[in-house]
Structure 1
């Protein structure tokens, strides 16, 4: 299996995990998996179009910002909340919002 297919499979697996956690009411864990889905959508897009995989979030944001502003804006918006999941409870409205953005962006890679 190639890297692109692996990334696509990971998107599906992370999203499925996020949905299961969401249904169980595990908001922080669900948010983390939705965010991981977003990161993998970004990596899929970067690999598909540029044949590059970033080593860290800083590099990912640098690559996304000029070429994929919608994806960059979504990812950079949720990034501080993702970091907060280690010490704070995710707000239900934020969880619904990230889920909606993941569903919208996931459709672009299917």
Structure 2
């Protein structure tokens, strides 16, 4: 498998696992998985448009801020919730926001998550 195929496969796996956790009302786990799907999809978009993938969250923020502002704003908005999920209880509504952002990125990449 090449990098593009791996990112697409992992995004789908994270997203669908997020759905499983969401349906069990495990919103912290679900949010983390949706965020991981979102990051994989952002990395896929970056790869398709630059030929490279970020090596870290810091690198991802820099690349999106410099080249893909719309994606930067999504990351900047969602990353604190991902961090908070380790020490706070996440709500259903907030989890759905991250899920919707992952679905938005899937559409941008022209892939089906399920």
User: With structure 1 as the length reference, what TM-score do the two structures score?
Assistant: 0.93
Greater RCO structure (CA 8 Å; 6+ sep): 2
Q: Is the 8 A contact 2:34 2:102 kept in 1?
A: yes
For residue 88 of structure 1, what is the aligned residue in structure 2?
88
Q: Is the 8 A contact 2:14 2:33 kept in 1?
A: yes
2:58 matches 1:53: no
Which stretches in structure 2 are left out of the alignment for 5+ residues? none
Q: Aligned Cα RMSD in Å?
A: 1.1
In the TM superposition, residue 53 of structure 1 has moved relative to its aligned partner by 1.7
Alpha-carbon displacement from aligned partner over 1:56-85 (angstroms, at most 9, x marks no partner): 111100001122112111111111111111
User: More deviation in 7-16 or 100-109?
Assistant: 100-109
Whole-angstrom distance in 2 between the partners of 1:56 and 1:84: 19
User: With structure 2 as the length reference, what TM-score do the two structures score?
Assistant: 0.90
Say how many residue pairs are matched: 110
Which stretches in structure 1 are left out of the alignment for 5+ residues? none
For residue 6 of structure 1, what is the aligned residue in structure 2?
6
5 Å-filtered alignment, 1:24-63, equals: 24-63=24-63
User: More deviation in 2-11 or 99-108?
Assistant: 99-108
